[in-house]
Chain A
Amino acid sequence: MDRRTISLTVNGKRITRDVETRQHLGDFLRRELGLTGTHLGCEHGVCGACTILLDGEAVRSCLMLAVQADGRHVTTTEGLASADGALSPLQQAFWEEHGLQCGFCTPGMLTTLTAFLRENPNPTEDEVRDAISGNLCRCTGYANIVAAALSAARRMRGEA
């Protein structure tokens, strides 16, 4: 069993751990760090539930190894709210627009859209739909997720 020591920053906290080299990042976050907000829905990179932010970019934590995150900055769904626990504008919009039902795909939707809205603060509805086209949801029919993203974008632009 090959092991290595890695150091990375997770939700602003510096972490050093000895990990098995074959462990994927999603399992590392959930099992070693107890950050169970990241969900594993397919473990083959299609459903998007396990999406995290790696140096600000949305990536699938089931498709990379924990050792590949050495030296990087990881943000999970637990790291999206502000330090005092207040929901981010996107999280707040998900709550108001009923953008989640079972909540299993939600972490991946939130991380994907957080990265997207940073790059495109004034998206069209079609652009939002494209942005989450790699995230599966069986409950909502996506409509309220799209509405939440547009509402959050408006709020973050100071329009609402």
Chain B
Amino acid sequence: MDRPRSIGASVKRVEDPAILKGGGRYVDDLALPGMLEVAFVRSSEAHARIRGIDTQAAAALEGVHAVWTYKELGGDKRMVQANPHPLLKQNITQYPLARDEVCYVGETIAMVIAENRYIAEDAAQLVQVDYEPLAAVIDLRMAAKADAPRAHLDSPDNLVARLGQKFGDAEGAFKNAAHVFRESYLQHRGGCHSMECRGVVASYEAFSDQLTLWSSTQSPYLIRGFLSQYLGREEQRIRVVAPDVGGGFGPKAAHYPEEVALALAALKIGRPLKWIEDRREHFVSTTQQRDQAWEVEVACDAQGKVLAIRARVLHDHGAYVPYGLLLALGSVNNFPGPYTIGAVDLAIDVIFTNTVPTTPIRGAGRPYANFILERSMDCVARNLKLDRAEVRRRNLVRKEQMPYSTGAKLPNGKPVMFDSGDYHGVLEMVLKNSRYENREARREEALKRGKRLGFGLSSYNEDTGIAPFEGASVRVFPSGKVVVTSGAGAQGQGVRTVLAQIAAEQLGVKPEDVLVEIGDTSLFPMGMSTVGSRTTVTAGSSVHLAAVEVRAKAIRLAAEALECAPVDLEIDAGAVRLKGVPDKHVTLADLARRLAGQVNVPSPAGFTPGLEATAYHAVERPVYANGANVAVVEVDAQTGDVEVLDYFVAHDCGTLVNPQLVEGQIVGGVAHGISNVLFERMVYDKESGQPQTTNYGEYLLITAPEMPQMHLAHMETPSPWNPLGVKGAGEGGTIPCLAAVVSAVEDAIGAKVNEYPLSPERIVELMTG
């Protein structure tokens, strides 16, 4: 019997009805009995020694329960390093509340606990911090100099780590190449700006000795582990819940001082505590992704085949290392992108500055890497007077080379390998859809209206579904309800819907009848983090494996009940049925009941208890999504205003579990990319270290009128390396977008553009030389 498939259908999201009616459950929506609210006193100085803190006036305010510095809080250890790395030379994490030195404006110094937030904020203003100002270092290139002020008093220098990525004979290639081109690039992506700021509720319940932390986080399991280490409390006695999360985009994967401070304080004060970040705090305390300065050399042959790429990079790490080196590593590990470049030699210096720490934002370094690779392809085209698409054709990995080993190594020492994909195919697809060949006619038409039109190109691939695992359990309850639990979380991607579809596919039920429970460490034993376009690959594959096992178990038990061979059975509409005789069936509910157990009655022989299974899909190596983008922009030569008219995406993320959700990810990712290039810049005063863009009047995000017409096309090359053939889709919209838009602006104005963001003033400057 054919039934509609769940996988591949644009199933409406199971998450939506509640949210649409105002019934979402975000952390700020939680109100526990007896709950108090917290406001933090944050550093007003970029770098200072704290001589003293006077909390007296604040503590005397009516409605204030406590005003604590690190001494009273008992947070005298630095926070746990989330991602240790052997090359991390200065592993400096924050204290939950600063001790004697503050290293950026916004660093937590003291916490006020009060009846409500209004009073807590009043009191926080009354706390007097006696600062001894120290020299601050804000500018990345300044900070990298030997005689620069130190971002930390006790540091020998500002070097957090020196990292690299090297394979092949770059030196030989540069010596013998027909052409060598040198360029400098400056990149800056700005802040997180999930519409929901961060927030934490902490509650200690003495009766069961249980500490519960609700946090707007991408990583509830990791936070549980870090709190366990910090507090010396068993993980079993800590529950971390990520309820509905109002956007994550990377920074919410990190571990923050407020999480530790609230946990410590809740244990101490014995009442539930809530802290909700306000938007100004978001600008000065949620991690960002700011400057990278690249000096790049490209070697190519006479035909534009790139032989080697060499770069020296400076990376602004901000004041602390909360999240290891993942952002810097992601910026160099993604070479050579989708290209067959035989030799790569990259060195990146990770530098402390007295600014908000940086950690990955959507793309996690890959947009930086992609920008350099794509600008380099355009650079080769410009210099050799070749078409930009043709240069890419000459350099992309060919379909028949798959699986393709790049020459680079994974962190475990195994070779980096691309699993599958037709990189030329998606390029031709996007060229055709965008009528790239016809661009001169469009350019002339625009000129008649006084506008300069440009086409920008960008190809990319992305390592998705990264190691190690997300597990899942699939369980049929005696009611017949199918329940999926997993360690994977969600921040709006529609993970519940996707996992429900995957389970439904095997169990012959509708996706809306599958209850998916995620984001709560009490529901499933282990989990990692919802980052890096990994959840459908990792958790999705695990749900699939578990559901296949449950299906087999159900059929095997039904075969006994119906006295027939398993091969004669199929599963549909909540029951196992005899093929061709659907009325002869046994329901999943009945099968679940038989396996649920009864006192003093042995379970059916050969069956483990419960109609359930748990699986952990083992990720040995990532799978590679890929695509090509074309941006079409118009520039007003007088004002420097850029309008992105059309944006074309050809994309391959393997099996499309839910096409509508994949497209939602891509369009949202493109919006993020355009916003990075044309609008967002986190500005600091270079002397004082004061942040100067701390509201949405000063810091711009893309709005609806600035969005181009989107034109999406999919290619579907299933990955051979997981059972569903899926590849990740969460970041593929953003990664190539920055380069595509900049390439289009360059094409429009006829002047080299080696940087972003691009303000109208800057575009006029570039045009007038």
Q: Do A and B come from one complex?
A: yes
Q: Using a CB–CB distance below 8 Å, which chain A residues touch chain B?
A: 20, 22-23, 30-31, 34-44, 46-47, 49, 76-78, 80-81, 85, 87, 91, 94-96, 98, 100-107, 110, 126, 128-130, 132-146
Stretch at the interface among B155-163, B392-400, B458-466, B665-673: B665-673
B261 to chain A: closest CB distance in Å?
22
In the complex, are the beta carbons of B12 and A103 less than 8 A apart?
Answer: no
The CA-CA distance from A145 to B705 in the complex, in Å, is: 12
- B470-522 at interface with A (beta carbon < 8 Å): 491-494
In the complex, are the beta carbons of B118 and A143 less than 8 A apart?
Answer: no
Q: Using a CB–CB distance below 8 Å, which chain B residues touch chain A?
A: 10, 12-13, 15-17, 19-24, 26, 28-29, 31, 116, 118, 193-197, 244-249, 278-279, 491-494, 660-661, 663-664, 667-672, 695-697, 701, 703-705, 707, 710, 733
The CA-CA distance from A34 to B30 in the complex, in Å, is: 10
In the complex, are the beta carbons of A37 and B492 less than 8 A apart?
Answer: no
In the complex, are the beta carbons of B247 and A138 less than 8 A apart?
Answer: yes
Chain A residues contacting B493 (CB-CB under 8 Å) are 101
The CA-CA distance from A53 to B31 in the complex, in Å, is: 25
In the A-B complex, the 4 residue pairs with the closest CB atoms:
A37-B22, A102-B492, A104-B246, A141-B671
Interface centre among B12, B26, B701, B703 (most CB of A within 10 A): B703
Known A-B contacts A49-B195, A105-B195, A146-B704; A140 and B671 likewise in contact (beta carbons under 8 Å): yes
Chain A residues contacting B26 (CB-CB under 8 Å) are 36, 39, 104
In the complex, are the beta carbons of A80 and B21 less than 8 A apart?
Answer: yes
The CA-CA distance from A30 to B661 in the complex, in Å, is: 30
Partner of A40, one of B17, B28, B667, B697: B28
In the complex, are the beta carbons of B21 and A142 less than 8 A apart?
Answer: no
| Cβ contacts A to B, 14 pairs, < 8 Å | A30-B29, A31-B31, A36-B28, A46-B697, A95-B16, A100-B16, A102-B196, A102-B245, A103-B492, A110-B20, A132-B704, A136-B703, A139-B492, A141-B669
Chain A residues contacting B29 (CB-CB under 8 Å) are 30, 36
Since A36-B29, A101-B492 are in contact, a sample of 14 more A-B pairs with Cβ atoms closer than 8 Å, ordered by chain A residue number, is A42-B696, A85-B21, A95-B12, A100-B492, A101-B493, A103-B24, A104-B26, A104-B247, A130-B705, A136-B703, A138-B247, A138-B672, A140-B668, A144-B667
Known A-B contacts A43-B279, A133-B704, A143-B707; A23 and B196 likewise in contact (beta carbons under 8 Å): no
For residue A49, which residue of chain B has the nearest CB? B195
Partner of B667, one of A43, A46, A47, A141: A141
B360 to chain A: closest CB distance in Å?
15
The CA-CA distance from A22 to B116 in the complex, in Å, is: 13
Interface centre among A20, A98, A128, A133 (most CB of B within 10 A): A98
The CA-CA distance from A142 to B670 in the complex, in Å, is: 11
For residue A40, which residue of chain B has the nearest CB? B28
In the complex, are the beta carbons of A87 and B17 less than 8 A apart?
Answer: yes
Partner of B118, one of A23, A77, A81, A94: A23
A30 to chain B: closest CB distance in Å?
8
In the complex, are the beta carbons of B19 and A100 less than 8 A apart?
Answer: yes
Known A-B contacts A41-B279, A85-B21, A136-B195; A101 and B664 likewise in contact (beta carbons under 8 Å): yes
Chain A residues contacting B278 (CB-CB under 8 Å) are 43
In the complex, are the beta carbons of A104 and B22 less than 8 A apart?
Answer: no
Partner of A102, one of B28, B194, B661, B670: B194
Chain A residues contacting B670 (CB-CB under 8 Å) are 141
In the complex, are the beta carbons of B701 and A41 less than 8 A apart?
Answer: no
In the complex, are the beta carbons of B13 and A98 less than 8 A apart?
Answer: yes
A66 to chain B: closest CB distance in Å?
12
In the complex, are the beta carbons of A39 and B246 less than 8 A apart?
Answer: yes
In the complex, are the beta carbons of B194 and A104 less than 8 A apart?
Answer: yes
Chain A residues contacting B22 (CB-CB under 8 Å) are 35-38, 76-78, 80, 107
The CA-CA distance from A101 to B497 in the complex, in Å, is: 12
For residue B699, which residue of chain A has the nearest CB? A46
Partner of B196, one of A39, A96, A133: A39
Chain A residues contacting B249 (CB-CB under 8 Å) are 138
